[in-house]
Chain A
Amino acid sequence: MKIKHISFQLLLIAGLGLFVATSCKSSGTSNDKTAMEQSDRPGPPPGNRPGPPPGDRPGPPRGGGGGPEQTKTLEEIGGYQIGATATDFNLKDVSGKMVSLAGMTDAKGYVVTFTCNECPFAKMYEDRLIELHNKWAPKGYPVVAINSNGGAGQESMEAMQARAKEKDFPFVYLMDEGQEIFPQYGAVRTPHVFVLDQDLAVRYIGAIDDNARDASSVKTSYVEDVLKALSKGEAPGVTYTKAIGCPIKHS
């Protein structure tokens, strides 16, 4: 009995020693790791330190810090706030016709979508834009697609025409020649949607839905929810969203 007790103690001690040796080894070899992998990387593991909520990240106000170029907020970029009156335009469609919002006489609103040919996120939404247009244009809310990427190379009118033909776009696909329209709206990425009502008041700015990569996993269809509200004469619930997208090319 006594022998058994001692063996247990020995086992315990051996185990403890092994544990210490192991933890020692892992800290001793951290010299081989990259700086970001070290234990002093940002954001300590949960439990170690509460970790400030994002809003509390220390730092000067945006645009501060004295850098040569200021970080612009969306407000600083300009563009519309919800409720602003959007500018109409007269832009060339892939069909060759000039198109303006005023010319769409039956419209009760407009799904103005800044998009392009090559951005993978824009491409992932092509089918959903087609579906949106086919469902909502008959109810008075057509998709109005605008390419503001400067008209060169893969974003040329010829390339736009080829893409429109290939996908059989049921909506107009306009070129923002001179890139004068997107800065007025404040579009910064593709795709970037501005839902306007009949009076061209901006009712929604943002993403089409909440899952770019997988249409079947979408939980909230932001634009469709806005159109449902507008068609019932109600105020949309969500009026502003963000999403990952390609930057609109400034040329």
Chain B
Amino acid sequence: MHKLLSVAAILVSFLYLACGQSISQASAPTLPEPVRDTVTEVSVYDFAELEKRLYTSSDSTYIVNFWAMWCAPCVKELPYFERFLAKHAGEKTAALLVSMDFPKDIDSKLLPFLNTRKIFRSDVVLLDAPDANSWIPRVDPAWSGAIPATLIFNRDTSVFFARPFADLEDLEAAVASINQ
């Protein structure tokens, strides 16, 4: 019996060791380049689920953009986020595009939209949260609710942009301003 237990203990600690090794590999200094070649699903979030992704304790920088397919200035700036991630791959920056479109349009409109426009580097979720007045101030007290709007943050700093970005350089300056 004792013998059996010792064997088990050795077996288990071996597994733990192996595990520890792969964990340290996963948290290597550079983030993997998150390139998909197709978007097959978009998660539907309520605000509580989204709110968890508006804060970080990591050393990465996050760009959270509120947009919709029906919002022309939003659609215009989407490529800037993709280009930013491509240009700054390996700089620990990630983008989350929060769609305000209708949940019923995910398969028929949103997924085709994302694939046609090759939105492959940013993560995309759909926010289904009707009582906007309850959660808009929790994103930023200064936000009126007009989109596009973008929150850029790291673990120390957060800046809210209630406007579209004019171009890639404008977005780069915005990210640089919080990482300085």
- Chain B residue numbers with a CB within 8 Å of A27 are 19, 22-23, 26
Instruction: Tell me whether A69 and B158 are in contact (CB under 8 A).
Output: no
Q: CB-CB contacts of A98-136 with B at 8 A, as 1s and 0s?
A: 000000000000000000000110000000000000000
Complexed CA–CA distance, A32 and B66 (Å): 26
Instruction: Tell me whether B58 and A24 are in contact (CB under 8 A).
Output: no
Mark the stretch among A35-43, A80-88, A162-170, A172-180 that contacts chain B: A35-43
- Chain A residue numbers with a CB within 8 Å of B106 are none
* Interface residue from B1, B73, B130 paired with A213 (Cβ < 8 Å): B130
A17 within 8 A of B: yes
Complexed CA–CA distance, A6 and B5 (Å): 10
B117 within 8 A of A: no
Q: Which bucket holds chain B's interface residue count?
A: 35 or more
Instruction: Tell me whether B60 and A35 are in contact (CB under 8 A).
Output: yes
The count of residues in chain A whose C-beta lies closer than 8 Å to any C-beta of chain B is: 68
What are 18 A-B contacts with C-beta separation under 8 Å? A13-B12, A24-B18, A27-B23, A28-B19, A34-B123, A40-B27, A42-B54, A44-B57, A54-B139, A64-B159, A67-B159, A68-B173, A71-B162, A189-B144, A211-B130, A212-B130, A212-B132, A245-B145
Closest 8 CB pairs of A and B: A34-B34, A43-B52, A42-B56, A24-B19, A59-B158, A28-B22, A40-B58, A189-B146
- Using a CB–CB cutoff of 8 Å, the interface residues on chain B facing chain A are 1, 4-5, 8, 11-12, 15-16, 18-19, 22-23, 25-27, 31-32, 34, 36, 51-60, 62, 68, 70-71, 73, 92-96, 100, 102, 121, 123, 130-134, 136-140, 142-148, 153, 155-163, 170, 173-174, 177-178, 180
